[in-house]
Amino acid sequence: MADREGRLLINGLLRAVSHEQPLDLAALRGHGISPALAAHYARTEWLERLGTGVYCVAGARLDRDQCLLFLQGRIEGLHVGGRTALAWQGVRQYLEVQERLTMWATSRGVLPAWFTERFPGTLTSMSLFDEATVAHGIVTPPAVTDGLKVSSRERALLELLRQVRTRLELQESRELFFSTQGLRPTVAGELLTGCTSVKAVRLFLMWAAEAGN
């Protein structure tokens, strides 16, 4: 490919895409850039190779939400859940010095290194709910980037309780539960019925009764 044509393609890409988002090979092909040409642009420092078949604009500062939207298309059922979902909806005990994301997925998946190096977090790959309710309670809360999947407060509490292992985690979860206002009985009831974790259901019902819900 002539140098002039190569420059035209990369300049067109830089004008057309957000510099805050990852780009996979399909996105690059949409701008006329083949895998071989993408590798060339990485060698010449127009693009940065993040991982196998994933690039970004060289020197770009990736946006957390744009990266999450990208990963939603690659990991089935990926959503922000548990403690992070509660914090994004105003339920938290303290402000973290550096946010540590809690994510869930309904299929086996691994967060890529390029993501966790920038946005530390954990991914739980399992279905906490039966087939009828596996997608219930996943929403995009107000003030969250459009299209980003986040657990509702009711679902996030069950995810949080499923992961309780120590006495300290139990106490922290209890404090978060009693700090959560406006739980919806209908939504909670559907999720409790479909939840496959006996521990999470038992703790939720016990504390809900204590709170008079």
Q: Is 47 helix (H, G, I), strand (E, B) or coil?
A: strand
CA-nearest of 50, 56, 58, 69 to 22 is 56
CA–CA separation, 149 and 106 (whole Å): 13
Domain limits for position 142: 64-211
Mean pLDDT of 58-68: 97
Residue with tokens 């986040």: 150
Q: For residue 3, how many C-alpha atoms fall within 13 Å in the half-sphere facing its CB?
A: 1
- 44 CB contacts (<8 Å, ≥6 apart)? none
Phi, psi of 57 (to 5 degrees): -65, 130
Residues 175, 140, single domain; the answer is yes
- Whether the per-residue pLDDT at 135 is higher than 70: the answer is yes
pLDDT at residue 162 in the model: 97
Residues 27, 69, single domain; the answer is no
Residues 68, 53, single domain; the answer is no
In the DSSP assignment, the letter for residue 131 is: T
Residues 77, 28, single domain; the answer is no
Q: Into how many domains does the chain fold?
A: 2
Q: Which of 1-5, 45-49, 175-179 has the lowest mean pLDDT?
A: 1-5
Residues 40, 70, single domain; the answer is no
pLDDT at residue 99 in the model: 87
Residues 98, 193, single domain; the answer is yes
Residues 37, 97, single domain; the answer is no
H/E run at residue 61: none
Let me know: does 146 contact 182? Beta carbons within 8 Å: no
Per-residue pLDDT band at 157 (split at 50, 70, 90): very high
pLDDT at residue 49 in the model: 98
Mean pLDDT of 183-207: 97
Domain boundary among 57, 72, 97: 57
CA-nearest of 211, 162, 155, 161 to 188 is 155
Residues 79, 10, single domain; the answer is no
Residues 43, 140, single domain; the answer is no
Residues 53, 71, single domain; the answer is no
Domain boundary among 14, 41, 57: 57
pLDDT in tens, 72-113: 999 999 999 999 999 999 998 777 777 899 999 998 889 999
- Whether the per-residue pLDDT at 47 is higher than 90: the answer is yes
Domain boundary among 57, 82, 97: 57
In the DSSP assignment, the letter for residue 101 is: E
Residues 44, 145, single domain; the answer is no
Residues 174, 88, single domain; the answer is yes
pLDDT at residue 88 in the model: 96
Mean pLDDT of 43-47: 95
Mean pLDDT of 142-168: 96
Tell me the C-alpha to C-alpha distance, in Å, between residue 91 and each of 30, 85, 127, 142, 151: 41, 9, 24, 14, 13
